[in-house]
């Protein structure tokens, strides 16, 4: 219980107060209400994440910050009577109940009403009334209200709701002609017939369905309606900014054109070049990174390709591309969720190119493929034991005993973290640390057998140590686990660079959220998160080149929930106040934008003010996109360059069976 209270206090401090919510009453109300009581049991451990969460009836519980933003805008007082439209889980109503005299909440789904009513009764909130109904009609018999808050967006503010405001009453609601371009508006009733309206910024909410909102039939089609160009809405200042960007944008040729990779020669003097992606399922990002990487390998001496993938899986690919023998327990790579992230036709094409190029080179000049990530615990333990079986059978026996602590959890390591938190101690921490220390202490002895194999075994041992700590940390908050994971990835990069010598140079493939400097984003400034990009700048200075990628619309390979099936979804058009929409409006369909100091300083200065930037990982939820997938960032400080594509398409996943004519040793085969 104390851990959840600590997580709740961290949520209030990092997600609410640091984002600019100044109301002490709002913060105090959030500290008192247990969000974990309003989500399904299997999601309680994620209750204080900085995101919406799925609840029953296919709906979501809103991100804490957006609830806080609406409550502060409503300027609630202890004597107020409040109406909430879209009660959902009941969480927002519970928070409001700590601030006002009475809360009335209307929910469209009867299942949610019943569940919310039971939670509220169990928690003892006795100043809330809930009912199932059409929220666009309000609650006429309980009117007038001092405040009305709607957690769904309609084409206009329903007159039925504005009429139910008391004089001086405030209504907060998302409004927009379509679901992709909504504004959060504050309506204040100043007389029987007059209202003041205030624009609180761009948002994207689920549709407000009802008699005076969207109909159930038209709501799914609403997002495809097109609004006027940004310039018509934002005026001459914004027009000049798009003109500046268009002038600085360097159009990109086809991926197969040698001129594509040559555009990135300006970064070839760096020790590390970090190539991002705005999603984990977009073909253009993979193909662009492959073209850039081929150029850096062929023309500029880069020999390390380090990717946001697990070390043991990538090691299988590395052995394939460098023509090294596979160990006896080798398994096909990248079979776990999200398999499409690396098991796709674009990665396959790059891997085959790398293998073919390496074949003609001596071993010491061959480029390798290395995983930086932390998740494949079971394969890493197996790899350490296999290595020791070959070089030191006595040590292998000790490894089996020490890793025996983690073996029951190897297929579901998150369960180990839950157990460790419940038990109150880290039962496996000392054995895995001792195993790593023993392995490193015998480095000189082991490396005589095969330096490459020792590097692999040592890194697997580091992964086991880091993974044990990671799965414990994830139960104490997202920031701790995120930082542990990115520090591990950066340290892995350092280990590979050191193993390959002082002249070695690396290309890193990872998500924008990992390779852009976190200290100039909401991640670092609000949530105290760091990432590989930030650590590379601190370690390598100007010898680190951070290159982000973006898109406006198209399709993406993704899932709706973690461990869910891959789907191909439409990427919603970017929000008007985002960097993506600015890039789209500049009129160059695909380009490279050099953001380094001294290149386009006037444009750089104009872009430095933080804007929204979209991040799609393996999970994509368009219905809550503003709060699930956008964060405030300063693009010119976050990246050294930005690669843009107006429209993109989903990656094509590989089939699950080895195809005829493909070598049996091919690492993607099953």
Q: What percent of the chain has pLDDT over 90?
A: 55
Asked whether the predicted pLDDT for residue 119 surpasses 60, the reply is: yes
**Contact in structure between 260 and 598 (CB atoms under 8 Å):** no
> Based on the domain organization, do 215 and 258 belong to the same domain?
no
User: In angstroms, rounded to a whole number, what is the distance separating the alpha carbons of residues 253 and 591?
Assistant: 9
**Contact in structure between 303 and 365 (CB atoms under 8 Å):** yes
Provide mean pLDDT across the span 315-344.
84
- The CATH number covering residue 538 comes to 3.40.1660.10
Output 422 or 461, whichever has higher pLDDT: 461
- The CATH number covering residue 194 comes to 3.40.50.150
- Helix 429-441 and helix 451-473: axis angle, to 10°? 160
Asked whether the predicted pLDDT for residue 256 surpasses 90, the reply is: yes
> Based on the domain organization, do 222 and 236 belong to the same domain?
no
What's the pLDDT at 232? 33
Is residue 388 a part of any domain in this protein? no
Question: pLDDT tens-digit profile of 272-313?
Answer: 999 999 999 999 999 999 999 999 999 999 999 999 998 888
> Based on the domain organization, do 279 and 155 belong to the same domain?
no
Is residue 407 a part of any domain in this protein? no
> Based on the domain organization, do 211 and 251 belong to the same domain?
no
pLDDT band at 54 (very low <50, low <70, confident <90, very high): confident
Question: pLDDT tens-digit profile of 202-212?
Answer: 777 888 999 88
**Contact in structure between 616 and 558 (CB atoms under 8 Å):** yes
- Please identify which of the residues 2, 23, 57, 62 carries the catalytic annotation: 62
Is residue 373 a part of any domain in this protein? no
Q: Provide the residue range defining the domain that includes 553.
A: 232-302+505-670
> Based on the domain organization, do 163 and 274 belong to the same domain?
no
The mean-pLDDT minimum among 162-166, 240-244, 385-389 falls in 385-389
Closest C-alpha among 197, 144, 206 to residue 179: 206
As for how many domains the chain has, the answer is 2
Question: pLDDT tens-digit profile of 70-95?
Answer: 999 999 999 999 999 999 999 999 99
Output 234 or 126, whichever has higher pLDDT: 126
Catalytic-residue membership of 97:
no
Output 58 or 354, whichever has higher pLDDT: 354
> Based on the domain organization, do 79 and 176 belong to the same domain?
yes
What's the pLDDT at 214? 87
- Output DSSP code: residue 565: P
> Based on the domain organization, do 158 and 298 belong to the same domain?
no
> Based on the domain organization, do 204 and 284 belong to the same domain?
no
Helix (H) or strand (E) segment spanning residue 611: strand 611-614
> Based on the domain organization, do 165 and 36 belong to the same domain?
yes
User: In angstroms, rounded to a whole number, what is the distance separating the alpha carbons of residues 544 and 567?
Assistant: 35
Domain boundary among 178, 205, 227: 227
User: In angstroms, rounded to a whole number, what is the distance separating the alpha carbons of residues 575 and 630?
Assistant: 9
What's the pLDDT at 6? 85
What's the pLDDT at 82? 98
Domain boundary among 227, 258, 275: 227
Domain boundary among 227, 249, 280: 227
Of 411-415, 513-517, 522-526, the range with the highest mean pLDDT is: 513-517
The mean-pLDDT minimum among 20-29, 56-65, 259-268, 492-501 falls in 56-65
Is residue 396 a part of any domain in this protein? no
Closest C-alpha among 22, 88, 35 to residue 64: 35
Is residue 418 a part of any domain in this protein? no
> Based on the domain organization, do 272 and 166 belong to the same domain?
no
**Contact in structure between 72 and 21 (CB atoms under 8 Å):** yes
Is residue 335 a part of any domain in this protein? no
> Based on the domain organization, do 197 and 289 belong to the same domain?
no
> Based on the domain organization, do 205 and 253 belong to the same domain?
no
Within 8 A by CB and 6+ apart from 20, the residues are: none
pLDDT band at 345 (very low <50, low <70, confident <90, very high): very high
The mean-pLDDT minimum among 116-125, 402-411, 437-446, 473-482 falls in 402-411
Is residue 172 a part of any domain in this protein? yes
CA 322 to chain centre: 32
Asked whether the predicted pLDDT for residue 576 surpasses 70, the reply is: yes
């Amino acid at each position: 219980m104390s851990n959840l209270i600590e997580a709740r206090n961290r949520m209030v401090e990092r997600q609410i107060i640091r984002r600019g919510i100044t109301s002490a009453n709002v913060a105090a109300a959030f500290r008192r209400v247990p969000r974990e009581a309003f989500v399904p049991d299997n999601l309680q451990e994620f209750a204080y994440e900085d995101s919406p969460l799925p609840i029953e009836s296919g709906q979501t519980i809103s991100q804490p910050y957006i609830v806080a933003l609406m409550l502060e805008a409503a300027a609630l007082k202890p004597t107020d009577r409040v109406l909430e439209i879209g009660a959902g889980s009941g969480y927002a109503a519970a928070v409001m109940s700590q601030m006002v005299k009475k809360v009335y909440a209307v929910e469209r789904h009867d299942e949610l009403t019943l569940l919310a009513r039971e939670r509220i009764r169990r928690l003892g909130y006795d100043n809330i009334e809930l009912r199932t109904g059409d929220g666009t009609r309000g609650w006429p018999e309980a009117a007038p209200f001092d405040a009305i808050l709607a957690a769904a967006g309609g084409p206009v503010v329903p007159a039925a709701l504005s009429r139910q405001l008391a004089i001086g009453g405030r209504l907060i609601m998302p409004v927009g002609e379509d679901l992709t371009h909504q504004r959060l508006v504050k309506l204040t009733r100043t007389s029987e017939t007059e209202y003041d309206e205030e624009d609180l910024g761009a948002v994207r909410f689920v549709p407000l369905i009802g008699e005076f909102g969207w109909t159930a039939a038209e709501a799914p089609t609403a997002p495809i309606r097109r609004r006027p160009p940004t310039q018509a809405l934002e005026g001459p200042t914004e027009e000049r900014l798009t003109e500046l960007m268009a002038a600085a944008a360097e159009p990109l040729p086809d991926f197969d054109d040698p001129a594509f990779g040559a555009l990135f020669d300006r970064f070839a003097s760096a020790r590390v070049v970090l190539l991002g992606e705005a999603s984990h399922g977009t073909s253009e990002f993979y193909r662009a990174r492959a073209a850039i990487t081929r150029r850096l390998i062929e023309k500029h001496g880069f020999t390390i390709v380090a990717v946001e993938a697990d070390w043991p899986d990538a090691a299988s690919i590395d052995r394939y591309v460098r023509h090294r023998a596979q160990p006896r327990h080798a398994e096909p790579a990248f079979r776990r969720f999200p398999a499409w992230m690396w098991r796709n036709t674009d990665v396959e094409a790059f891997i085959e190119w790398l293998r073919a190029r390496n074949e003609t080179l001596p071993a010491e000049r061959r480029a390798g493929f290395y995983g930086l990530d932390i998740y494949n615990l079971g394969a890493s333990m197996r790899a350490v034991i296999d290595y020791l079986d070959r070089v030191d059978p006595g040590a292998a026996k000790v490894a089996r005993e020490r890793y025996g602590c983690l073996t029951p959890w190897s297929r579901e390591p998150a369960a180990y973290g839950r157990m460790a938190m419940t038990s109150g101690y880290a039962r496996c921490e000392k054995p895995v640390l001792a195993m790593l220390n023993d392995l490193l202490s015998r480095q000189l002895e082991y490396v005589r057998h095969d330096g490459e194999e020792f590097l692999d075994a040592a890194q697997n041992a580091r992964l086991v140590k880091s993974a044990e700590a990671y799965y414990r940390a994830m139960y104490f908050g997202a920031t701790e686990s995120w930082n542990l994971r990115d520090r591990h990835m950066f340290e892995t990069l350092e280990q590979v660079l050191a193993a390959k010598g002082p002249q070695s140079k690396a290309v890193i493939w990872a998500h924008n959220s990992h390779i852009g400097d976190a200290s100039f984003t909401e991640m670092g400034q609000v949530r105290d998160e760091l990432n590989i990009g930030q650590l590379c700048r601190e370690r390598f200075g100007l010898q680190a080149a951070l290159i982000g990628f973006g898109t406006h619309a198209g399709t993406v390979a993704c899932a709706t929930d973690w461990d869910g099936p891959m789907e191909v979804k439409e990427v919603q058009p970017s929000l008007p106040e985002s960097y993506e929409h600015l890039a789209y409006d500049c009129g160059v369909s695909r380009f490279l934008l050099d953001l380094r100091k001294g290149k386009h300083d006037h444009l750089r200065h104009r872009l430095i003010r933080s804007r929204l930037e979209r991040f799609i990982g393996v999970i994509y939820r368009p219905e809550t996109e503003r709060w699930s997938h956008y964060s405030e960032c300063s693009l010119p400080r976050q990246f050294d360059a930005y690669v843009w594509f107006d429209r993109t398409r989903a990656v094509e996943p590989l089939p699950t069976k080895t195809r005829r004519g493909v070598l049996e040793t091919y690492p993607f085969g099953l």
